[in-house]
Structure formats: structure tokens, C-alpha cells
Amino acid sequence: MKRFFIATLLLAGGSAHASTPEQRGFQVFRQICSSCHSLNYVTYSDLTGLGVSVPDIKSYASQHQVPDGLDEDGDPKTRPAHPSDHIGSPYPSESMARMANHGGLPPDFSRLALTQEGGPQRIIHILKSYTAPPAGTKLPLGAFYNTAMPHLHIAMPQPLHDGQVKYADGTTATIPQMANDVTAFLNWTARPHLKARHQTGIFVLAYLAGLAVLLGILKRRVWKRLKSPE
């Protein structure tokens, strides 16, 4: 039995190679999106929920520097991030983020799939709707042509290009593929415990359903005493 569990654990751990859309999406986030977008409420160790291994999480975290108080001279110090730190923003402050993006603030990714009107489908649609503007189109400064937007332009430059990411599992990184994957990742950040939620729910409902049947029988038996003459 113990061996069975260990084998299952190894299989689950080994799934980093046969990667899921969420894991591929994380790779897209890590290599592309995270250069502008923040994940302010997600910690590095939360990524275990995606099946990312602990050593991978540690090495990912240690590539980032986080503020660490002041040194003896009163100058700000930094240290490599721990797995328990928030992934946070690539910019040191909101004003820096705005300065780097023509005054716009790249939205935080933590709950974007939930708060974005139209949800995940809309995100995929926006990511796939970059085309060359028709001749003679005048775009405002810092805006890019995107047919999904009501005014046909968006402040985000086209983020995805074919073959931009080399997927660990060998999947071809086309724009639609990456858009789907990164949205699966965003859906996970917005609803981090969805799988555990559904699994727990099935057990709870099954238990309650069984209990309801038993209580139904008990109730009928008890109330029968009233109807039959004593």
C-alpha cells in the first residue's frame, strides 16, 4: 500500500514533463507577462498547487530580489526572495510602473480572470486580436491596434509571438496555444483551490446524500407510530 502511494506521488511529481495547460501558462507568464504584470497576492510556494516542484520554486524565487529593510548606514537592502514571498510586481512602485507604460498601469494578475469583464474567454480573445492596422489608421501615442477593443486600440503592445516560448513538454508555441495556456494559468490564479473545492464538494455531497436517505427512513418510521392505531 505504501509503495502504491509513493508510486502515485512520484507520478504526480513527474507530471512536470507531461505538463498541463496551467503549467505551460505559468511558463508564458514567467518568460513574457511577468516583465510588466504583477502577481501581488500569489506567493512562490502557491505554485505547488500547479504541480511545480519545490526545487523549481526555490530557484525561481531566488532569481528575484525583494526589499529587506535598511543596512547599518540606513541604505535600503535587498535579498533573494523566499518561497513564502509574494511574486509581486516587476516594478519597485506603482509610479515606476506607470512611467514605464505611458502612464498606464498593467493590471495585477491575481484575480484578473475573475474581475475582467467577459472572463477568461475575453482574455483569450484580446490576446489573439492583434493585427496590422489598416493603412491610414491613426493610433494615439502608446496605443496598439487590437480588434477586440471597442476603440480598436489597447495600451499593451502585442505580448505573444509565434515560437516565443520553448515549452518544456515540446508543445508548439503558437499564439492561440500560448493565449489558451496563459489564460488557464490566470484562471488558476483567480480560483486557486478550484480542484480541491470540487473534490471536497463531491465527498461532502455524497456523505450528506447518504445521511439524508437514512434520516428519511428514520423520520418515516418515527412518524408511522402516529398514523397506526395504538
Partner 1 sequence: MTERSNSLSEWLEARLPVISAFRREYVDFAMPRNLNYLWNFGAFATIALGLLILSGIFLALNYTPTVTEAFASIEMIDRQVSSGWLVRAIHMGGVSMLFASLYVHIGRGLYYGSYKAPRELLWLTGLGLLLLVMTTAFAGYILPWGQMSYWGATVVINALNSLPVIGKPLAAWLLGGEGLGNTALHRIYVLHFVTAFSIVGFVVLHVAALHVAGSNNPTGIEPAKPDDTVPFHPYYTTKDGLGLCLFLMVYAGLIFFAPDILTLADNYAQANPLVTPRDITPEWYFAPFYAILRAVPSKLGGLLLAAGSLGVLFAVPWLDASPVRSARYRPILRIALPILFLAFIALGAAGMHPPTGFWLWISRIAVTYWYLYFLILLPYLPRVEIPKPLPSSLQEPRG
Q: Does 110 bind partner 1 (CB under 8 A)?
A: yes
Number of residues that bind partner 1 (CB under 8 A): 31
All 3 cell numbers of residue 48? Answer: 505547488
For residue 82, give the DSSP letter.
Answer: P
- Do 121 and 77 meet the contact criterion of CB atoms below 8 Å apart? no
List 1, 135, 141, 209, residue binding partner 1 (CB under 8 A): 209
Compute the least distance from the CB of residue 46 to partner 1, in Å.
Answer: 6
Q: Cell 524565487, residue?
A: 61
List 77, 102, 195, 197, residue binding partner 1 (CB under 8 A): 197
| Residue whose CB is less far from partner 1, 161 or 197 | 197
Element (H, E) at 76: strand 76-80
All 3 cell numbers of residue 185? Answer: 494559468
Q: Does 87 bind partner 1 (CB under 8 A)?
A: no
All 3 cell numbers of residue 7? Answer: 508510486
Bridge partners of 117? none
Residues near partner 1 (CB under 8 A) are: 40-43, 46, 110-111, 114-115, 190, 192-193, 196-198, 200-202, 204-205, 208-209, 211-212, 215-216, 218-219, 222-223, 226
